[in-house]
Amino acid sequence: DAALATEQWTEADRSLRELIEKSSGQPASREALLRSGLLNYRKGNYTEAATDLERLLALPQAENNELTARYWLWRALQKSKSDRAARAADDVMTKFPFSYYGLRARIEQGKGTLEWDSTKAKAEKVESKIWVTANEKLAWEKVQMLLKAGWVEEAQAELKELPPALRAEDRAVRSLVWAAAAGFVTASRLANDGWDEKSDLRRAPFTDAAFPREFTDIITTQAAARNVDRDLVRSLIKQESSYNVKATSTSNAYGLMQMIPPTAREIAQDLKLGTLKLPEDMFVPERNIRMGTYYLSRMISKYQGNIPLSLAAYNAGPGRMDKWLRTRPTLKNLASLKSSKPDDELWIDELPYSEPCFYVKAILRNLMLYRLLDKGRVEITEPIWQFSQVKEGPKN
């Protein structure tokens, strides 16, 4: 890792080869094969990169690395002008259709156009019929009563008493009930499970359960005040908290945009909000979104409008990102680079921190899907994440 992080390519290659052979069949070997494939791609050794990645994909228990490996295998085969590149792209789209990389493959296939397939499907009525016990029937009645009264947390507790949703239609309908109870984590999982089984369920209102539009007025106002794309804020909230107002992470990040106490206090001082009461103040949507959007705008300004880099800093912290960038001479101009070409986003998968690597791609995926769901069909321009010019907004 140290050799990779400091671009000592020869030493990194030697260490990776040694790890691959010594840890054969172990998680460390699979990770080393992925890193070796990315390193060979970085060095322009596309045939060797493809070999590493295909070797990884042939191993058992490679699921955690499969999407990344398949995507860069496709790109390596493209660079090699291999006849197998088109098949590799199809594999990415088929196996991971709503991932960032799956959507990128669809964009290329559509020659710059992305279309939501379900807009052509019939919007047939979907029904869910389940057998319930007397206690489960009572729980359902309580759910309806509590939702009418606006007691969403209590409604969520009663929803857990219902029998499991087994059919695709049952999951889709249940996702709407969970969404009505503001349980968007469960709603999203159920909606995704439903439409993975039956593609004609990939339409409203089930897509709304997976991609909420809660707090739209607040988000729109704060995004406009900071010259940040509204859909970027929505996408970040979905990834950070799944729209759970009281979300609390293991690192004590709070609320919709997951503010940690030191950052929250710093922002409160910038915005002249006075002394914060934590965590309670971070569970107030208006305040959390105002502070989170302000902080996001600061990251975007710091990294000169490079959205993926700004998101990585939002998640990992600008200090950690700056430290990593200083060790990577080839990335010294990354902040000023306004490009989403594959080679210019290789750094995302080279990050030594697993969480921001996944995080950045998840938000870019959310960003494209929110746009797509709103419009049904979008023309993608380069860079694909730069939907609007971002400028630093006023501090208060």
The owner of tokens 């559509």 is 110
Q: Name all contacts of 299-302 with Cβ < 8 Å and 24+ positions apart.
A: 300/228, 300/390, 300/392, 301/390, 301/391, 301/392, 302/335
Active-site residue identified among 31, 54, 158, 240? 240
Burial of 62-89, coded b for 16+ CB within 10 Å and e otherwise, reads beebbbbbbbbbbbbbbbeebeebeebb
- Asked, as a colleague might, if the bond just before 262 is cis with ω within 30 of 0, I would say no
**What value does the CA radius of gyration of the chain take, rounded to a whole number of Å?**
23
Cβ atoms of residues 77 and 64 within 8 Å: no
CA-wise closest residue to 213 among 46, 351, 366: 366
240 is catalytic: yes
Q: Nearest to residue 314, comparing CAs of 350, 349, 355, 280? A: 355
- CA angle, 186 then 189 then 193, to 5°: 140
- Residues known to be catalytic: 240
